[in-house]
Amino acid sequence: MIQREKIRDGSGRVIEDRYPLCRSVIDAAVKGDVEIVVSGLCLVEVNKPSKDIQRNQIVDYFENDYILIVPLDKAVAVRARDLMFAETPALKPPDASHLATALVSNADEFHTFDKDLLDLDGRLTKLDGTVLKICKPGMGGEKLPLLEVLEGTASVPAARRYPHTVAWPHQGFTREQRDWLSQIGGIGEGWIFSIGHNDKWTVAFADEREAARFELKWL
């Protein structure tokens, strides 16, 4: 479900074929080499069926296991607001929300074709203190930057980093629950919170003991 878009110069010559750029990342995700992190806002933005793509295909696409949907909660919204206030005042709310999602979830890379967003590469700091890489999707061939070793630790899909999951019947946490979770690190450190199949929410932990403690205390 990738738009087949080609960018041409004034003479009509193709200077950028965006389909294979995106295809390489999708293929890597299907193989389990990377995970695609998206904002919950995508469920609203990607909503226009066409003669080639039906409504059910759009809905089903976001049910793939390799897609991690990050809720647009208060933490993401506050980071997006801060981006608009200070660092990038020309940002529109949707772009700020997508960037904030990447920053809060500690994504390895943020992929875009927007020149204004590409110009922000190396200027925004993620929740874990590292700098967010903003770039166009990889072209395939040699190993994608997404798969390279970062700071001595292999970048792997969140499903592998946080294998111990707990089904969660709510779409957020109380202040007391967030304070408890902060003891094992922020979101994207010791735990993550995501939506899975059939709109079922999941809290996933890196440490099995923390998952057991969470389940015992809150469920």
**Ranges in the chain annotated CATH 3.40.50:** 1-147
Q: Global pTM?
A: 0.60
Tens digit of each residue's pLDDT (9 = 90 or more) over 162-171: 778 888 777 6
Q: What does the pLDDT read at residue 218?
A: 86
Residue 83 pLDDT > 80:
yes
Tens digit of each residue's pLDDT (9 = 90 or more) over 142-161: 333 332 222 333 334 555 67
Q: What does the pLDDT read at residue 160?
A: 66
Tens digit of each residue's pLDDT (9 = 90 or more) over 34-48: 889 999 999 888 877
Q: Which fold has domain 1-147?
A: Rossmann fold (3.40.50)
Distance from the Cα of residue 155 to its chain's centroid: 14
Tens digit of each residue's pLDDT (9 = 90 or more) over 93-147: 999 999 999 999 999 999 998 888 988 998 999 988 899 999 988 733 333 333 2
- Alpha-carbon distance of 144 to 111, in angstroms, equals 12
CB burial of residue 12 (10 Å; 0-12, 13-18, 19+): exposed
- Alpha-carbon distance of 218 to 197, in angstroms, equals 22
Residue 14 pLDDT > 70:
no
Nearest to 134 by CA among 121, 125, 119: 121
